């Protein structure tokens, strides 16, 4: 839970009231429990793995693994940018000072200790992060209780907007659920922790506690978006709603402001090092197959960190918009890919996953072009340029409907065409048709005990009966892809 929670939840609350806030808090935090469901499934299929892309490698092949890894790293890059942007906004709002020196120092210090200590350091800082969140919660609650004074007249005038049900709140229920459930799967830091769990029971307990605690804290972090309206400091749907937390904090005593600023920077640092260590693991595992010294992967992360710092300083982007860009990508890619966990979907190959994911993004562009009547606006929809905050604009809602469903439809369409072509090829050449033969592999859901019972002779006989011969490495890559 980085510094970004102090801006994004308040922004949604300012736009869609208490309904929007509760929807965001619940849909953002409860999906953590899904790691207790999917985690054991993936760990059984990939017992030696530690990130999602490792299972993807064994299930769909190296090409699809690199495809997933590229978007995973892009997502973590966007989250780096959002975290640095959030702390930049915090410092500017609370002090009025240029935050550039501070975030540069944060990046340098975080990179140095992560470079030297790796993921173990990230685990350690997570412990401190939990304490920081609780301290910030206590100080913030006391500070707000003593210094924030609600205007009864304004509260009465805006009560229906802030506390009532609204169409945007119901739209967000679907958008945020799809967006966050799929985007969590892109967070390598979550998978590192999932694979690190000692037992499935430990994982379930941890995910349950995390879901509950994060939901409570996120709700509290978002309430300033409503309170700032009731104090008269902001309007409903204010363009600066994302800094509502800091606008109200600025009214407090200097020691409270100082304490909140210190713990906000600490939160940001703890989250940033998790992103750095997760990116290092993804690069080392996916692109180098852990065959090069880890120091080279860490050097590459430094190279990635520099542009994230530059973008955060120069772009001054909306943190929530950055999240939604990553969410739209994940909602296109993850649904069709996770169908590969279903044993009956053994026929899906890497080509189908890539066609489904990329085709879904293209479908969003086509939808945006038709809906807005402009190719430029269709491109902007891919970047959620106009946000999702207007109940009268169905563009964002439509994008998050099209992305997952078109990804699945196009993936199955690709599988049907591919299998049909392979059938025709088999009939023409007389070679065995194996496209619908379920592979006897752990990654495809075949239990380990069944594989242990098979003798080498039985496996060899089965493979020869299907016309398999020794093939080159490139041929095996192509076979796993199509």
d(CA 10, CA 228): 9
Q: Does the residue 238 lie in any domain? A: yes
Evaluate whether residue 335 is within a structural domain.
no
Tens-place pLDDT, residues 301-318? 788 788 888 877 776 656
Question: What CA–CA distance (Å, rounded) separates 229 from 301?
Answer: 41
Q: 167-184 vs 5-29: helix axis angle to the nearest 10? A: 80
Can you tell me the mean pLDDT for 430-446? 86
Mean pLDDT of 129-156: 82
pLDDT of residue 404: 94
Nearest by Cα to 207 from 196, 220, 223, 221: 196
pTM of the predicted model as reported, rounded to 2 decimal places: 0.84
pLDDT surpasses 90 at 362 = yes
In the DSSP assignment, the letter for residue 454 is: S
Structure letter (DSSP) for residue 253? -
Per-residue pLDDT tens digits for 115-140 = 777 667 777 777 777 777 788 778 87
**Six-digit token string for 8:** 């994004």
pLDDT of the residue at 463: 47
Higher model confidence: residue 138 or residue 212?
212
In a domain, 102, yes or no: yes
Report yes or no on 179 lying in a domain: yes
Is residue 455 one of the residues assigned to a domain?
A: no
Q: How many domains does the chain have?
A: 1
Within a domain: 77: yes
| Domain region containing 139 | 5-316
Mean pLDDT of all residues in 402-424: 94
Domain-embedded: residue 397? no
Given pLDDT bands bounded at 50, 70 and 90, which one contains residue 457? very low
- The domain spanning residue 37 has which CATH number? 1.20.1730.10
- 362 within some domain: no
């Amino acid at each position: 839970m980085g510094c970004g929670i102090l801006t994004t939840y308040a922004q949604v609350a300012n736009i869609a009231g208490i309904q929007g806030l509760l929807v965001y808090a619940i849909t953002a935090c409860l999906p953590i429990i899904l790691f207790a469901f999917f985690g054991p499934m993936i760990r059984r299929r990939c017992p030696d793995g530690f990130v999602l892309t490792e299972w993807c490698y064994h299930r769909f092949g190296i090409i699809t693994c690199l495809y997933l890894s590229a978007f995973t790293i892009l997502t973590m890059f966007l989250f780096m940018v959002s975290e640095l942007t959030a702390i930049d906004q915090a410092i500017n709002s609370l002090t009025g000072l240029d935050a550039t020196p501070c975030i540069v120092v944060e990046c340098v210090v975080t990179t140095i200790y992560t470079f030297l200590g790796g993921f173990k350091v990230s685990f350690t800082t997570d412990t401190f992060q939990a304490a920081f969140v609780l301290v910030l919660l206590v100080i913030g609650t006391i500070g707000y209780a003593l210094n924030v004074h609600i205007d009864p007249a304004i509260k009465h005038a805006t009560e229906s907007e802030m506390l009532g049900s609204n169409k945007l709140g119901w739209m967000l229920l679907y958008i945020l659920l799809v967006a966050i459930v799929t985007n969590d799967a892109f967070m390598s830091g979550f998978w590192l922790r999932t694979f690190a769990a000692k037992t499935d029971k430990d994982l379930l307990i941890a995910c349950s506690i995390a879901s509950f605690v994060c939901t409570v804290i996120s709700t509290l972090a978002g309430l300033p978006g409503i309170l700032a309206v009731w104090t008269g400091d902001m309007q409903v749907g204010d363009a600066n709603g994302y800094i509502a937390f800091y606008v109200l904090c600025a009214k407090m005593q200097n020691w409270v402001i100082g304490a909140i600023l210190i713990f906000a920077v600490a939160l940001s640092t703890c989250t940033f090092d998790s992103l750095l260590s997760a990116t290092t693991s993804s690069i080392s595992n996916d692109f180098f197959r852990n065959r090069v010294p880890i120091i080279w992967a860490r050097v590459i992360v430094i190279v990635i960190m520099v542009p994230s710092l530059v973008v955060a300083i120069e772009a001054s982007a909306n943190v929530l918009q950055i999240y939604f860009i990553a969410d739209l990508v994940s909602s296109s890619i993850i649904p069709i890919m996770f169908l590969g966990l279903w044993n009956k979907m053994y026929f899906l190959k890497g080509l189908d996953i890539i066609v489904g994911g990329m085709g879904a993004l293209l479908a969003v562009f086509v939808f945006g072009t038709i809906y807005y009547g402009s190719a430029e606006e269709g491109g902007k929809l891919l970047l959620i340029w106009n946000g999702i905050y207007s109940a009268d604009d169905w563009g964002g809602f439509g994008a998050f409907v099209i992305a997952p469903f078109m990804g699945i439809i196009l993936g199955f369409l690709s599988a049907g065409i591919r299998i049909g072509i392979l059938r025709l090829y088999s009939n023409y050449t007389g070679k065995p048709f194996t496209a619908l033969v379920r592979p006897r592999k752990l990654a495809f859901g075949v239990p380990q005990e069944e594989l242990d019972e098979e003798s080498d002779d039985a496996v060899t006989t089965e493979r020869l009966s299907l016309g398999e011969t020794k093939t080159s490495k490139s041929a095996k890559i192509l076979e796993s892809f199509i």
